[in-house]
Amino acid sequence: MTVIDFSAFIGRLATASGETILPFFRTSLSIDDKSKTKDFDPVTEADRAAEAVMRRLIKASFPQHGIVGEEFGNEREDADYVWVLDPIDGTKSFIGGFPIWGTLIALLHKGAPVYGMMHQPFIGERFSGDNGSATYKGPSGERRLQVRRCASLSEATSYTTSPLLMNERDRAIFSRIEQGARLSRYGGDCYSYCMLAAGHVDLVVETELKPYDIAALIPIVTGAGGVVTTWEGKPAQGGGRIIAAGDARVHEEALKLLNG
């Protein structure tokens, strides 16, 4: 099957997960802490229920495929096709009642992300991409996503979810980006990457990401004309320290600062 063939099925996964999550949003739901350290890493019933629904659909339709998920681990991760799922990226925003979270669904073929979707069911937005193009569907209709030109970091709007998520050394390195950017903002999780693909943000810099945090966003950003790598300039689907830029010039300048 081609990516085009899979796109309708990915839409089904998004719809099913959204229908599962929404009854929990802005309610009094129980919250568990997955972290074994002092850092708060919340997970809710909505996270688990949405991933379970998507896993059931994948296993019923493509039993030979692998699955990598945030809540229930990995199955057949060495298969040619692997689904990478993050039922709620931005759980801290979710439990706070803010709608800047989304369901991330990625399809990997032989280890490389070939299709990704970010679905925000409360707002009714879907951002999807296949590396060659990227699309938005939402309340304002449907349109192609395109990054914007930005000649230098000094003209750029930069986002990170929070510098507090970085270790002390990486936080100090990241401060070089903050000092060089025209505007530096916090928050967003997956939404920052989608806003970059839509041409509203120029740079996203993160650390400590897992594969399910980034895999779905790579085909969206690259499909819109952007660049996503690690801080070392390597492929980003394995997670870690990630940098995404809408303009290759900003990406190059930021990489030099991060590795200077």
Query: Which segments are annotated as binding site for Mg(2+)?
Result: 70, 86, 88-89, 213
Query: What CA–CA distance (Å, rounded) separates 9 from 25?
Result: 24
**Bridge partners for 241 per DSSP:** none
**2 token code pair:** 């081609």
**22 token code pair:** 């929404």
Cβ–Cβ under 8 Å, residues 224 and 94: no
End-to-end CA distance of the chain: 44
Positions at the binding site:
70, 86, 88-89, 213
Query: What CA–CA distance (Å, rounded) separates 91 from 70?
Result: 12
Q: Give the length of the chain.
A: 260
Q: Residue 24: which of 73, 91, 72 has the closest Cα?
A: 91
For the chain, strand residue ranges (E) read: 31-33, 42-44, 66-69, 73-75, 81-89, 102-109, 112-120, 125-129, 134-138, 141-144, 157-160, 183-186, 203-209, 227-230, 240-245
